[in-house]
Chain A
Amino acid sequence: MSAPLITVQQAYKSFGTVRVLEAVDLTIKAHSIVGLVGPSGSGKSTLLRCIQGLDTLDAGGVTCRGKVGFMFQDFQLFPHMTVLQNILYAPRLKEKGAALEQRAQKVLEQLKISAKSSVFPMHLSGGQKQRVALARCLMGQPDILLCDEPTSGLDIVTTTEVVSLLQSVCALGVTMVLASHDLEFLAQIATRVVFLKEGHVVADEEPCDTSSLKERYTTIFSHKE
């Protein structure tokens, strides 16, 4: 059995007096798509940020075997650069040449965004920005892709497109961790769902269909006085 790609051990994180992660243990195997669910403030985004290294844990540890890519909820494309410049800027600092340009074109074609390569982000729709953000991550050839709310603000049609896009990315051998509120989306894509409540992992299971996932969610997170 291969070693896990991501290991989180006894992770603790607080912001001031607010404890956001508490004794979180998580192992993620290669080629899986893991959904992190929970209400706002349950620690999903913080866990992703700690895995990426954007935030540091107060205690515990995170180990990632392989390159990590991070897709922000609000994409964070560079507004003064075109789509092509956005996806080429970082890789060009490490390698040059026609092969890189070809790879960029290929990624843009795969994500069906090549027609927009010379457009600035402000002229793109939410779904198109999503694709560019994904393309930018893929240009770094990550082994692990962390996505924070990948479907927030997207309509149903675009969400379905994102599902197939992420599935195609997973088919390339990329392991994904998705923090999302969108249970329908996760039911379609995730191979495993981790429920976070007030910074704790309270359930970790395989999703069935949307309705049973919603039912499970309600059972776990309903407030019983």
Chain B
Amino acid sequence: MEEFFSDCVYVGRGISFTLQLLTGGFFLGITFGTVLAILRHNGICTPFVKGFVSLVRGTPLMLQMSLLYFAVLPLLNIPMEVLSTGILSFGMNSAAYVAEILRGGIESLPKGQFEAAQTLGIPRFYMWRDIILPQVVRNIFPTLINEIIALLKETALISVIGGMDIMRASQMLSAEQFSYFTPLCIAGGYYYILVLLIEKIGRKFERASHHRPAGL
């Protein structure tokens, strides 16, 4: 039993890295994804946005990350840590998916909401920030939670470029013990607990957002 707990502690060393990767990647993804969705809605840089989304969704994340870490960054002579590279790759990848989710949310809003803002003389920045996006985010919240969960599971790919996340920690422990079962089960347990936590926090936010008026 004592050995099991020490294994849990060993694999648990990767939690912090996994969470940093997840939060960094998601916030970068939602920020860039929102910009992409607004650009596309307004018909600005549409070929670029479409091309970016198509390319990112059409190639594996592992390839994107490897390309960035092993080829693009060395070619450009830009030194970047594993964590930063991971956040950048996960963020860009997530942005493409978030942009499409947001696009669906924006298109599902009545055109009259945009027109009402226009007739009231609300500047575009405020219209997006206070009128459109709060409604869109509320509508797409469950899909965004799905995206965070998918991103969490994809963080396991960071081991390809050497990031010390939960998966990598479990692999190292397996190599030390010449046994895969316990370390991998522990890693699975950690991922599952994190997913449950995200779901719980998501539900809390969802409930709160349905009761809270938008800030003025």
Contact = CB atoms under 8 A, between A and B. Distances in A.
Contacts of B196: none
A80 B135 contact: yes
Interface stretch (B52-60, B116-124, B157-165): B116-124
Contacts of B120: 89-90, 136, 140
Nearest to B132: A78
Contacts of A103: none
A140 B116 contact: no
A120 interface: yes
Contacts of A93: 122-123, 126
A72 B115 contact: yes
B119 A54 contact: yes
Given A90-B121, A140-B120, A82 B135 contact: no
Interface residues of B, number: 20
A17 B115 CA distance: 24
A85 B135 CA distance: 15
B189 interface: no
Given A89-B216, A92-B216, A93-B123, 15 more contacts: A52-B119, A54-B118, A70-B119, A72-B116, A74-B110, A76-B113, A77-B116, A79-B135, A80-B134, A80-B135, A81-B214, A82-B213, A89-B131, A136-B120, A140-B121
28 contacts: A54-B119, A69-B119, A70-B119, A72-B112, A76-B112, A76-B115, A76-B116, A77-B116, A78-B113, A78-B116, A78-B135, A79-B135, A80-B134, A80-B135, A80-B213, A81-B213, A81-B214, A81-B216, A82-B213, A85-B213, A85-B216, A89-B120, A89-B130, A90-B122, A93-B122, A93-B123, A93-B126, A136-B120
Interface of A: 52, 54, 68-70, 72, 74, 76-82, 85, 88-90, 92-94, 120, 136, 140
Nearest to A69: B119
A75 to B, nearest CB: 8
Contacts of A89: 120, 122, 130-131, 216
Contacts of A80: 134-135, 138, 213-214
A117 B215 CA distance: 15
A184 B37 CA distance: 46
A92 B122 CA distance: 10
Interface string B189-206: 000000000000000000
A140 B121 CA distance: 9
Please classify the interface of chain B as helix (H, G, I), strand (E, B), loop, or mixed, using the class held by over half of its residues. helix
A89 B138 CA distance: 19
A135 to B, nearest CB: 12
Contacts of A69: 119
Contacts of A77: 116
A99 to B, nearest CB: 16
A89 B120 CA distance: 9
A85 B110 CA distance: 20
Contacts of A88: 216
A11 B194 CA distance: 62
A74 B121 contact: no
Nearest to B113: A76
B7 to A, nearest CB: 48
Q: Give me the 7 closest cross-chain CB pairs, A-B, nearest first.
A: A90-B120, A76-B116, A76-B112, A70-B119, A80-B214, A82-B213, A80-B134
Most buried by A among B116, B130, B213, B214: B116
Interface string B104-146: 0000001011011011111100100011001100100000000
A72 B134 CA distance: 21
Contacts of A54: 115, 118-119
B105 to A, nearest CB: 13
Nearest to B137: A80
Given A54-B115, A78-B131, A79-B135, A85 B214 contact: yes
